[in-house]
Structure 1
Amino acid sequence: MIAALALFLSSAGALKAQTLPDQKETLKTLIKVNDFYMKNNPDCRQPSYVNKMRPSNIWTRTIYYEGLLALYTIYPDEKYYQYAYEWGDFHNWNMVRQETWTRHADNYACTQVYIDMYNLCPDPEVLRHAKANLNMLLNTPQVNEWTWIDAIQMGMPGFAKMGKLTGEQKYFDKMWQMYEYTRNQLGGNGMFNLKDGLWWRDADFDPPYKEPNGEDCYWSRGNGWVYAALLRVLDEIPANETHRQDYINDFLTMSKALKACQREDGFWNVSLHDPSNFGGKELTGTSLFVYGMAWGIRNGLLDRNEYLPVVLKAWNAMVKDAVHPNGYLGYVQGTGKEPKDGQPVTYDSKPDFDDFGTGCFLLAGSEIYKLQ
């Protein structure tokens, strides 16, 4: 019996060593990708110009800083902290266009990064505008403003983080009300199709809308935004929070559905149920799914034996096929809301914004690193 147990433990250890990437190599890849971005964007204050000028605290940049702070948790290089601090400080720790009264989730996505920075450096000024904007949202009755599923990731984690920071249930209550509306009521029946375990991007893609192959349209990155939001909320809310199990149930339902539609090469298509509609490797959705599944494994929500092969297949494919020698990321779909947007998506293609793809990749890689 003892000999059998020893053999089992030895085999398990060997399997782990064979399947998990070396931590040093994972970190090396993350640093290389982030260094490329910072080298090409040395001034974090500079606005983005894609058809028009946009301030640098829009949602695309917020996603990058989410990834950067995730990298900072495993490799606390001072330059990462300074790069994030200078960004927030330049914007006076305020929302897009200095509006502390914005209701648009894209414009208050930066709230969640500001709260993370406050936790690193508890200066009341860092938190002032973020708290004021969230308080405005929860003290007014509207719950029907996350009308596209990307908004769940842009808006919901800020409420969760503020609720944890203040200990006030009202933030958790408001985010549930807004999430529940998008999930169950938007467009008549909600955006979450429980039968398929995936989300329509917005009411424009509700049935009878179909993909060319007759399937429903489930946009990869849109589903990735929801998946990431769920784990970022679960990371913050207490174990006894009223709706914690509801979030867990949705996370598990999505995990099963996503596992079923992974490509043979490890990536996911931009259209999760129609590989013929602009099919091919795509990094942002894939990164967000890796982020979620790796987190789920690490936190005991997903079975390691079932999901680790999925995660590693995807991560290894991204590192091998999408990361250029200089750290540039290929196969990043640009901004949009459906498979045809931001095409073509190739190894050498350049998305319209160069920040959010890096952020998604850093989120994924930081969780892979923590799996050790």
Structure 2
Amino acid sequence: MLTLALFPGVGLLAQAVPARPTVKQVKADMKRVADWQIGHFADEFRIRRGKKPPRGLGDWTNGALYVGMVKWAEIAGDDAYYGWLKKLSERQQWKLPQRVYHADDHCVGQLYLELYRKYGEAHMIAPTQAQLDRIMAATPTRDLKWKHVVSQDRWSWCDALFMAPPLWAKMSAVADDPKYRDWMFHEFQATTDYLFDKEEQLYFRDSRFFDQRHDGNKVFWARGNGWVFGGLALILPEIPKPSEQYDYFVGIYKQMAEKLVSIQTPEGYWPMSLLEADAYPTPETSGTGFNCFGLAWGINNGVLDRATYEPAVLKAWSALTRCITEEGMLGYVQPIGAAPGQAWPDKTEVYGAGAFLAAGAELVHLLEK
């Protein structure tokens, strides 16, 4: 079994709540990670050439990176980051990937809507809006039991709640039309009714995990729940309040926040299997990043009590920054998967950087208050 002792730079001992970093320090770390990721962005295409089909610019992995990168662009004081994102979107012709219903292929649309909010050019969102209209006109009705390809026309896995629902919520806000939000709300409820464990206040990744146990523990994947929790922090700003929908989403959000803080490790991470810290001692930064982002958002927006939840944010951010290499790469990102696994100090993925940048942006807002 891997242990923290194998990983230089990551402390074994429990970390006391660290002092608040300065805004300057947070932005400096964000810039290092953002610049490294942009500089190495083409690597993911080269690495997979000859082994797997190269990822497209609209792949869900990149879509998650863009979520964080656009938040960094908002506070960086340098429009070059917006320029980079705009250029990538133009190469995509502002279109979603080919799978009409698949949530993973909707994630990149969140970037298009944020760029539309900045630039106001209608062609940036027209293809996405047309595809959402097409989906609503022929909504899939199959059940949510995990059957891999045939079950992915609906949100039958918890990751999907990050990929697609924020896009629908943003489209409602941008188009000033509740039909997108209402459709999303119905589907989100169906997925939550199916995958949310009310006892543990966490989401199963998909139906295959309902009866799985490891040493008697239910298996709740850290990044999977990070996808949901981070997704809620993207959805809630787009929902009118007071409203039934806002109350619903904030209710789930608060349950998850309470649970997540209670199981954060003393080192500041969340273990890859959330109820099994002893079995998964290796740091993991993608789930931790999304949880840090979600908690900081709640404090900033008056949903969570600052005195109660800020220590968890500060510990998580400190843990994340300890995993940045000298060159600026965020390490310990669990590879693509659907269950708890392994992570390494010299391995990264673009979605890990996206989570880190989203967390950093919310921490900057928290520190500025």
RMSD between aligned residues: 1.9
Aligned twin of 2:314 = 312
Aligned twin of 1:132 = 130
Match of 2:200 among 187, 190, 196: 196
CA–CA distance in 2 between the matches of 1:86 and 1:43?
A: 18
CA–CA distance in 1 between the matches of 2:161 and 2:43?
A: 29
CA–CA distance in 2 between the matches of 1:91 and 1:289?
A: 30
Match of 1:357 among 352, 359, 368: 352
Q: Which amino acid aligns with 2:123?
A: E
CA–CA distance in 2 between the matches of 1:166 and 1:238?
A: 14
Q: More displaced, 238-247 or 85-94? A: 238-247
Aligned twin of 1:15 = none
Give 1:82-161 correspondences, 5 Å limit. Answer: 82-96=83-97, 99=98, 102-142=100-140, 145-161=154-170
CA contact (8 A) 2:239 2:245 kept: no
CA contact (8 A) 1:67 1:363 kept: yes
CA contact (8 A) 2:46 2:54 kept: no
CA–CA distance in 2 between the matches of 1:80 and 1:47?
A: 24
Report how far residue 42 of structure 1 moved: 6.2
Report how far residue 141 of structure 1 moved: 2.9
Aligned twin of 1:333 = 334
CA contact (8 A) 2:44 2:54 kept: no
CA contact (8 A) 1:45 1:90 kept: no
Match of 2:183 among 174, 188, 193: 174
Q: More displaced, 28-37 or 141-150? A: 141-150
CA contact (8 A) 1:197 1:254 kept: yes
Report how far residue 127 of structure 1 moved: 0.8
Report how far residue 137 of structure 1 moved: 1.7
**Percent of pairs with identical residues:** 30
CA contact (8 A) 1:45 1:56 kept: no
CA–CA distance in 1 between the matches of 2:244 and 2:122?
A: 29
Match of 1:183 among 192, 208, 214: 192
- Provide Cα deviations, 1:263-305, integer angstroms capped at 9, x if missing partner: 1111111000012443321100000010000000111111111
Give 1:14-93 correspondences, 5 Å limit. Answer: 19-41=19-41, 49=49, 51-93=52-94
Report how far residue 239 of structure 1 moved: 1.0
Runs of 4+ in structure 1 off by over 4 angstroms are: 42-50
List runs of 5+ in structure 1 lacking aligned partners. Answer: 1-17, 185-189
Of the two structures, which has the highest relative contact order with CA contacts closer than 8 Å and spacing of 6 or more?
2
Aligned twin of 2:362 = 367
The structure number with the bigger radius of gyration is: 1
Give 1:261-340 correspondences, 5 Å limit. Answer: 261-319=263-321, 321-340=322-341
Secondary structure at 1:307 match in 2: helix
- Provide Cα deviations, 1:315-349, integer angstroms capped at 9, x if missing partner: 11211x20111101111101101013xx3x1222x
List runs of 5+ in structure 2 lacking aligned partners. Answer: 1-17, 145-153
